[in-house]
A and B are shown apart, each in its own frame.
Chain A
Amino acid sequence: MTANLMAILPYLVLAGGALLVMLVDSFVKSMRKDHLSNLSLLVLLGSLVAQQFTQQYSSDLFAGLLATSKFTFYMNTLFVAIALLTVNYASSLYSRSSSFSSEFYPLILLATLGMCLMAAATDMLVLFIAIEMMSMAVYLMVAGNRKSIKSVEAGFKYLILGAFASAILLMGMALLYGQTGSTLYSSFAAVSSSGGLMTSLAVGLLLIGFGFKIAMVPFHMWTPDVYDGAPSHITGFMATGVKAAAMAAMIRIVWVLIPQVSVVWAPLIGVLAVLTMTIGNLVALAQSNIKRMLAWSSIAHAGYLLLGLMTLLKPTSDSAVLSVVADNAGGALLFYLLAYAVMNLGAFGIISYLAKNRGEEADNIERYAGLSRTRPLVAASLAIFMFSLAGIPPTIGFAGKFYIFEGVVKAGMIPLAIWGVVNSLLSAYYYLRIIIVMYMKDPEESSYKGSSWETAFATSVLAIISVLLGVIPAPIRDVAVAAFKSLGQSG
């Protein structure tokens, strides 16, 4: 029991921290919410530290409900880092604008806890509770800007569609349970290897449920509205954290259920990845609102991620060779999640930095004119993020895409890789347009001007990281590959 509790100490810190922040919020009355943001930062850091001290991995926590491994370590670090940055953006935004409420801080801690549990869950029920824990918190955070009709509408829309997707996911889980009589992942691997249509239906429903969370095309329609309506820092959190968490859960399920899943998922995901990339990029071309553009771009990036997932689903006939390919492809996928988090959080951080004091969003691309002269450092950072999202070397986005496409080619799906590269070229147009507006146009009266040094500092650090990891991606990539390999060992 004690060993179990020690192993989940990082999660306990997050849960306890959320309760603590709630209590402090209700007892300490203050207009500025600095104490809450500082406390939340402490809790998140505490969770990181706890994770460092409890590196005793086990695949059998609480009778097999949870598994900790290098994989969870990697994902948890990513989630907590995303939350740290979001809290950083929020604290400067909330001190400027009174239209946000202090509920944000406990909510983001709970959402992070949900994400961490999603990566660690090895039981369908735990997974479902983790997904709901994350989703409920995110629904509320999306509607966080109470005075903005757009924000409230986005939250409502996300809640309704999210509940629908959860129901479909639950149906898939129920069908799997109906076949095996157990909700443990390990039991699925043993019993349902015979396949059959019931299993196919079940994993198909699971794919729909996850597809909604990662904004896969045909389940992407909510994305632009919700990403546009939510406050920018929340959008960044959703685009990176929620997507990474759903992807982590998908990777785990794929890894356990490969023989059953690959029959249904492999052809489906191949088609859906191509559709997701293409539709995302094509629609993004036509956007004049930077948040909508990044929403469509996040759909396109979900397509690249699905391409990475596709390489894992290749039927393993020749195990020795293919397991190496799978390890590399899985590592590429995990690396891409990190890369996408760095560049996308950076971009949304800057949008949040430029937001007006009245809670108005800086979303009109035309009004980025002349940012290079009024705020040179911020403009340079945003330019780096745009280069990175477009996948231009030497940035982390290039390295991420390179590894993904490398895996796809090695798995022998060369047309898919070519289509991915063509899509990257396509996307360069709309990413570079922002750079042109910032650098080639003169500043105007209506151009955005930011004011918070914390956010500017954080985004500069992210920009440096994206260049640095673009030049030397190998160490982190090795970590990612090791993290993926650990799935096979203990979970």
Chain B
Amino acid sequence: MVVDRRDFSVNFLIALLITNKELASRKYARLRVIYIWFDAGEAAFMAEQFVPLLLVISLALIFALLFLGLSYWLGPKKASKLKKTVYECGIPVRGGIEIRFFIRFFLVALLFLLFDLEAVFIYPWAVMYQSMLDGGRMIFALSEMGVFVGILVVGLVYVWKKGALEWQ
């Protein structure tokens, strides 16, 4: 097995993880075995620059669990009828929670999402527009966007004619 810089950094990391106090030669042999296993995940350990990321993630996890656990452990738990009700923005609860939604809402939401998302694609074009004008490619720029908007219009016409916009 070839020993290189990476080899040591990974071993160092493993040592850090299992909080081994010393790398005695006997233990080191075992770590080599672990390292071979870790070899498959080399991509993840490739550079030291990922170590801070790992630290941040584990710190976040530790703190989140710590404070959640503390408040669960230390906090008083006195259940009352009012506390057990569904939270409705602070106002008194009215009616059940299993409300039926009209299916049209979903259709409208879906259509909104579709056209809204596609409008996002116009932004990069708008950003590039001035430079395309400077390059004397106005017709290209306009026809490109024309095709895109044209496809959107066809979609809108289709939705319209199929009756998806009618509220009945």
Could you list which residues of chain A lie within 8 angstroms of chain B, going by C-beta atoms?
1, 19, 22-23, 25-27, 175, 197-198, 201
Contacts and interface: CB of A to CB of B under 8 A. Distances in A.
B121 to A, nearest CB: 13
Given A1-B140, A19-B151, A26 B158 contact: yes
Interface string B60-78: 0000000000000000000
Contacts of B154: 19, 22-23
B43 A175 contact: yes
Given A22-B158, A26-B162, A27-B161, A201 B151 contact: no
Contact of A23 (B42, B46, B157): B157
Nearest to B137: A1
A230 B43 CA distance: 40
Interface size class of B (residues with CB under 8 A): 10 to 19
Contact of A198 (B40, B43, B151, B158): B43
Q: Helix, strand, loop or mixed for chain B's interface?
A: helix
A156 to B, nearest CB: 16
Interface string B34-45: 000001101100
CB-CB nearest 3 A-B residue pairs: A26-B161, A197-B42, A198-B43
Nearest to A26: B161
Among A23, A27, A175, A197, the most chain B Cβ lie within 10 Å of the Cβ of: A197
Interface of B: 39-40, 42-43, 46, 140, 151, 154-155, 157-158, 160-162
A198 B157 contact: no
A25 B42 CA distance: 54
Given A23-B158, A197-B43, 14 more contacts: A19-B151, A22-B154, A22-B155, A25-B158, A26-B157, A26-B160, A26-B161, A26-B162, A175-B43, A197-B40, A197-B42, A197-B46, A198-B43, A201-B43
Nearest to A1: B140
A366 B34 CA distance: 57
Q: Helix, strand, loop or mixed for chain A's interface?
A: helix
A179 B39 CA distance: 19
B118 to A, nearest CB: 14
Contacts of B40: 197
Contacts of A27: 161
Contacts of B157: 23, 26
A22 B162 CA distance: 10
A22 B155 CA distance: 8
13 contacts: A19-B151, A19-B154, A22-B155, A23-B157, A23-B158, A26-B157, A26-B158, A26-B160, A26-B162, A175-B43, A197-B40, A197-B43, A198-B42
Contacts of A26: 157-158, 160-162
A201 B157 CA distance: 45
Contacts of B160: 26
Contacts of B140: 1
B1 to A, nearest CB: 14
A198 B39 CA distance: 11
Nearest to A106: B158
A449 B135 CA distance: 67
A401 to B, nearest CB: 36
Nearest to A20: B154
B161 to A, nearest CB: 4
Nearest to B159: A26
A22 B153 CA distance: 12
A26 B157 CA distance: 8
A285 to B, nearest CB: 36
A1 B151 CA distance: 21
Contacts of A1: 140
